[in-house]
Structure 1
Amino acid sequence: MSTTRYLLILPLMAVIAYLAIVALVYFSQRSLLYPGAGATPAAEHAAWGESVRVKTPDGEMLLGLHSQGDSDKPCVLLFFGNGDRVDNYAFLAQALAARGIGLLAISYRGYPGSTGSPSEQGLLTDGMAAFDWLSARCRSEIVVLGRSLGTGVAVNTAAERPVAGVILVSPYLSVLSVAQRHYPYLPAKLLLKDPFRSDLRIGKVRQPKLFLHGRLDDSIPLSSGQALYEIAPEPKQMLIYDGAGHNDIFTDSMVDDVIRFVEALAENRP
């Protein structure tokens, strides 16, 4: 092959390789965004609480774990991260139960124990269905707590349902903005099916909000959480944990901050 012909073919090969990468990312993006979906079956015996079933308006059946609190205490509704599962939160359920606070954690559609396949619209529907299920059983206020991917579900639920307060652990401005940061060489805005635009929904969330973020978070950078905090309406508060990253943020001290926020909401109710 002549040098001239080689120099002509080389850019074409690079373009084909790039398009192949773009196509691979496009078709595999939901397995990347929802790595916990269908990974393992649900545990036969719950690590905490009672196994419950939550039916969604579009016919899916979600597994939930529910710990009943005192009738005069708030209930917490948990939306976990993309690779997480409901039975990982015994530590939180126990800490809340010690204060009489109930907890419901749901397994999103397509995740262990639940039917269906995950998508942004599906998870947002799951969030509202979980709130409606809990509101029929909780005699007091409901506080939504979202972690990582679940912060987008929490923000939407708070925008659409009468929650008493919102706790966002490692939140993002949008999944789109996080994707653009991690994959600057890809046209994420054109490719992404599930952008989770919390930045477009947070303006409707007028309830008290607590933002919690690790300064060392390299999955969802602190700057993304701060950007969402800046555009969020009052009342709001942000706590930054200097030694925490993305997966080690749930310490005893952090859980104490969560409980203080929840109890303060109950104390300030009319």
Structure 2
Amino acid sequence: MSATRYLLILPLMAAITYMAVVALVFFSQRSLLYPGAGAAPLPQPASWGETVHVKTPDGEMLHGLYSQGDSDKPCVLLFFGNGDRVDNYAFLAQALATRGIGLLAISYRGYPGSTGSPSEQGLLTDGIAAFDWLSAKAGSGIVVLGRSLGTGVAVNTAANRPAAGVILVSPYLSVLSVAQTRYRFLPVAVLLKDPFRSDLNIGKVRQPKLFLHGRLDDSIPLSSGEALYRLAPEPKQMVIYDGAGHNDIFNDNMVGDVIRFVEALKENRP
């Protein structure tokens, strides 16, 4: 092959390779975004709480674990991260229970115990359905707690339902912005199916808000959480844990901050 012909073919080969990468990312993006979906079934009996089922308006059935609290205390509604499971939160349920605070954690559609396949619209629907189910059970308000991916579900839920308060653990401005930072070489805005635009929803969340973030978080940078915090209306507060990353943020200090926030909501009610 002549040098001239080789130089002509190289750009074509590079273009074909790039398009192949783009196609691979496009068709595999939901398996990347929802790695916990379709995982092994949950253990029986449940590691904490009571097993419950929540039916969504579009016909899916969500698995959940529910620990009922005192009737005069708020209940926490948990939306976990993308690779997480409801049975991982016995420690939180137990800590809340010592203060009489209940906890409901739902398994998103397509996640262990639940029917369907995950998507942004599906998860947002799941969040509303879980709130509506819990509102019939909880006597003193619901505090929505989202972690990582679940912060987008929490923000949307609080923007559309009368939550008593909102706790966002490792929140992002949007999945779109995080993906654009991580995959700078790809046209993410065109490819992404599930952008989770918390930045467009946070202005509707007028309830008291607690933002919690690890300074060492290398999955969702602190700068993304801070950007969302700046957009959020008052009342709001942010706590940054200097020694924490993304997966080790839940410790006794952080759980204590969650409990203090929840209890202060009741104390500050008129």
- State the TM-score, normalizing by the size of structure 1: 1.00
Partner of 1:139: 139
Q: Distance in 1 between matches of 2:73 and 2:179?
A: 39
RMSD: 0.4
Residue identity in the other structure for 1:108: Y
1:116 — aligned with what? 116
**Counterpart in 2 of 1:44?**
44
2:257 is paired with a residue whose SS is: helix
Query: 2:211 maps to which residue?
Result: 211
* Gaps in structure 1 of 5+ consecutive residues: none
Question: 1:135, 1:142 → 2: CA distance?
Answer: 7
Aligned to 1:12: 12
Number of aligned residues: 270
Aligned-residue identity in percent: 85
Secondary structure, counterpart of 1:4 in structure 2? helix
SS at match of 1:14: helix
C-alpha separation between the residues in 1 aligned to 2:188 and 2:245? 25
- Equivalents in 1 of 2:141, 2:109: separation in Å? 25
* 1:173 match: secondary structure: coil
Q: Distance in 2 between matches of 1:45 and 1:148?
A: 27
Q: Does the residue aligned with 1:239 lie in a helix, a strand or coil?
A: strand
* 1:184-203 Cα distance to aligned partner (Å, 9 max, x none): 00000000000000000000
Shift, 1:150, TM fit? 0.1
Equivalent residues in 2 for 1:17-28, closer than 5 Å: 17-28=17-28
Per-residue CA distance 1:47-77 (angstroms, 9 max, x = gap): 1000000000000000000000000011000
C-alpha displacement of 1:95: 0.2
Q: CA deviation at 1:41?
A: 1.2
Q: Which amino acid aligns with 2:221?
A: P
**Residue pairs, 1:52-201, within 5 angstroms:** 52-201=52-201
CA separation in 2, counterparts of 1:180 and 1:263? 38
| TM-score normalised according to structure 2 size | 1.00
Aligned equivalents of 1:178 and 1:36: distance in 2? 19
**One-letter identity of the residue aligned with 1:111:** Y
CA apart distance, 1:101: 0.1
- One-letter amino acid of the structure 2 residue matched with residue 52 of structure 1: V
Looking at structure 2, the residues matched to 258 and 139 of structure 1 have their Cα atoms a distance apart, in angstroms, of 19
Secondary structure of 2:237's aligned partner: strand
CA–CA distance in 2 between the matches of 1:41 and 1:11?
47
Q: CA deviation at 1:155?
A: 0.1
Secondary structure of 1:143's counterpart equals strand
Q: Could you list the runs of 4 or more consecutive aligned residues of structure 1 that deviate by over 2 angstroms after TM superposition?
A: none
Specify the SS of the correspondent of 2:12: helix
Q: CA deviation at 1:43?
A: 1.7
1:243 aligns with 2:229: no
Distance 1:11 1:82 in 2: 38
The alpha carbon displacement at 1:45 in A equals 1.4
Residue 2 of structure 2 aligns with an amino acid whose one-letter code is S
Distance 1:162 1:63 in 2: 23
